[in-house]
Amino acid sequence: MSERSEQVIDTWCTTIHTLGRQNAKKEKSLRYMQKDGKFPVMFQQAPGDWTTYWIDIFTSLVEIRWRMMFLIFSLNNIVSWLLFGLCYWLIAHVNGDSDNADDDLCVSNVRDFTGAFLFSMETGATIGYGYRYVTENSIVAIIVVTIQTVFSCLLDTVVIGVVVAKMASARKRAQTVGFSRCAVVNLRDRVLCLSWRLGDFRGNHILEGVVRVQLIRYVKRPVGSLVITYQDLDIEEREIVLATPTTIIHKLEPGSPLYNMGPDNLRDNRFELVVSFTYTGDSTGILHQTRASYTSADIRWGQRFQDMLKMGKKHYKVDFSLFNVTTWVPVPFLSAEEYNRKGRPADGTTLIPIGKRNRHIAQVNININEEMILQTFL
């Protein structure tokens, strides 16, 4: 190998090594969607403000944190017991139960507010100790007991419904279905492709789901406003059987928004790939969605995912420790447009190793001249 070639190879290796550090700095910029699928969006002066949350109170209760939900329902029970206890005390006070005989009481053994509160709590919680009970001496007390019983049943129904909905939340199931931490660009059938992994970490496999990918671009205008555009990306297979981890593939062909992007200008473009997998849980029948996003800093050019599926005697074996592991592969560091314009290499083209990084071997096609390599990174 000539001295000039060795210098080119060393330059390429150094560039690959520093590329990750440069992209890591860009990762600190604000993302359109976070890695866990949440959107860092804050609404200001939204129409209706808190009114919209009260109109759909059930959804609001499902979405709040557990500690807030327990606090709200605890306060609801205590406040309702106090209010109904106040009603029973007023009934006893108007009837003069503090001075009446036991046979003339509206509520047996309720002569002050403490007794009224305890009777209210026993009625609302359906404890029924039997020491305090309503008598037929006051129709008003009977009506109040009836109202409190119905209200308590309604409140218990709401609590049970919210707890069940929160426990069966789609977000919980979505945490067991995940995308790979990075995306890779490599050759498949001599076509440059962008790909990433999708896997289900539970034993009850998903037999049907739909994948969708959108390219998000956001550009700041001189006046300070932000313009966001959305563009769907074509992938090879949208409907997936997720019995084993699969690889989602987007071909960098004419019509793709990434067709003219190479490793040199990829990190200079401000975009984000928002990927989602929508499926129905076989255990609950609830519709779930798992989301992730990839910025230019998450795309590794010239790498592929390591194989994680093996065949045993009775089972297919999946090694999830390799789910996010990538290795170098022979890929020209050119955009798909340049790669197609200059001509795809024929089968059997000689490849030469250009060095090692993190115990992975990177290779380059010798049909790509040295000037082309230098122009890619300089």
d(CA 111, CA 340): 93
Is there a contact between 151 and 80 (Cβ–Cβ < 8 Å)? yes
d(CA 104, CA 95): 9
- Output the pLDDT for position 86: 93
Neighbour count for residue 218 (Cβ, 10 Å): 13
Is there a contact between 229 and 220 (Cβ–Cβ < 8 Å)? no
The second-level CATH assignment, the architecture, of 173-342 is Sandwich (2.60)
Concatenated DSSP letters for 226-284?
EEEEEEE---S-SEEEETS-EEEEEE--TT-TTTT--HHHHTTS-EEEEEEEEEE-TTT
Pairing of the two strands 206-220 and 271-280: antiparallel
d(CA 115, CA 108): 10
The second-level CATH assignment, the architecture, of 51-169 is Orthogonal Bundle (1.10)
Is there a contact between 123 and 152 (Cβ–Cβ < 8 Å)? yes
- Output the pLDDT for position 165: 80
List Cα–Cα distances, 201 to 175, 183, 244, in angstroms. Answer: 9, 19, 9
- Output the pLDDT for position 378: 29
Residue 239 tokens, joined: 């409907």
Residue 310 tokens, joined: 């093996």
What pTM, to 2 d.p., does this model score? 0.63
Where are the chain's structural domains? 51-169, 173-342
Pairing of the two strands 299-301 and 183-188: parallel
Residue 14 tokens, joined: 């150094």
Helix (H) / strand (E) containing 185: strand 183-188
What is the chain's pLDDT, residue by residue, as a tens digit (378 residues)? 455 545 444 555 555 545 544 544 444 567 777 766 677 766 665 565 666 667 777 778 887 888 888 898 899 899 999 999 999 999 888 888 777 777 778 888 888 898 899 999 988 888 877 788 888 888 898 999 999 999 999 988 988 888 888 777 656 656 678 899 999 999 988 889 999 999 888 766 677 789 999 998 877 777 767 788 888 899 988 888 888 888 999 999 898 988 888 888 777 777 889 999 988 776 666 778 888 889 888 899 989 999 888 888 888 888 888 999 999 988 888 888 888 887 665 443 433 333 333 333 344 443 444 333 333 332
d(CA 88, CA 141): 7
**What are the two backbone dihedrals, phi and then psi, of residue 324, each rounded to the nearest 5 degrees?**
-110, 10
Identify any residues that bridge with 195 across adjacent strands, giving them in sequence order: 184, 249
- Output the pLDDT for position 211: 92
Concatenated DSSP letters for 128-145?
--SSSEE-TT-HHHHHHH
Q: Which residues contact 16 (CB under 8 A, 6 or more apart)?
A: 302, 357, 362
